[in-house]
């Protein structure tokens, strides 16, 4: 991609989005920083990662009320399968905007 400054900004954006994702601890650890750098070097767009966070958070929140509670997400690595899924998807960005709006409504109701 580009120089170290680009990687620093990329890492900052990814980790900030991770930290704000519902269901995470809100804490960033060294392995999370290392994984963000690996994603940068793979050329995975920040928007893909953010969409994966939204998709995973929506799946976790939109479960039956009587389902057992899920544990807190403690690692960026938790999202890797969903990041791969989003990379493979052929879905309009509008879909992720729809999920974001729905997620915001669900989060407000809790």
pLDDT at position 1 is: 45
Q: What is the dihedral of CA 96, 98, 18, 91, to 10 degrees?
A: -10
Q: Where are the domains of the chain?
A: 4-109
The reported pTM is 0.83
Read off the pLDDT of each residue in 50-79 and give the average, rounded to a whole number.
Answer: 92
Distance of CA 62 to the CA centre of its chain: 16
Residue that is written with structure tokens 């620093």 in the block: 8
Read off the pLDDT of each residue in 77-89 and give the average, rounded to a whole number.
Answer: 94
Band of residue 4 on the pLDDT scale cut at 50, 70, 90:
low
């Amino acid at each position: 991609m580009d120089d170290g400054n680009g990687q620093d900004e990329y890492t900052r954006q990814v980790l900030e989005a991770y930290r704000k994702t519902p269901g995470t601890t809100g804490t960033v650890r060294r392995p999370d920083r290392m994984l963000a750098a690996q994603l940068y070097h793979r050329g995975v767009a920040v928007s893909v990662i953010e969409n994966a966070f939204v998709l995973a958070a929506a799946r976790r929140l939109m479960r039956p009320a009587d389902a057992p509670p899920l544990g807190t997400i403690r690692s960026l690595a938790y999202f890797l399968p969903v990041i791969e899924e989003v990379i493979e998807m052929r879905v309009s960005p509008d879909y992720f905007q729809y999920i974001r709006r729905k997620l915001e409504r669900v989060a407000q109701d809790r």
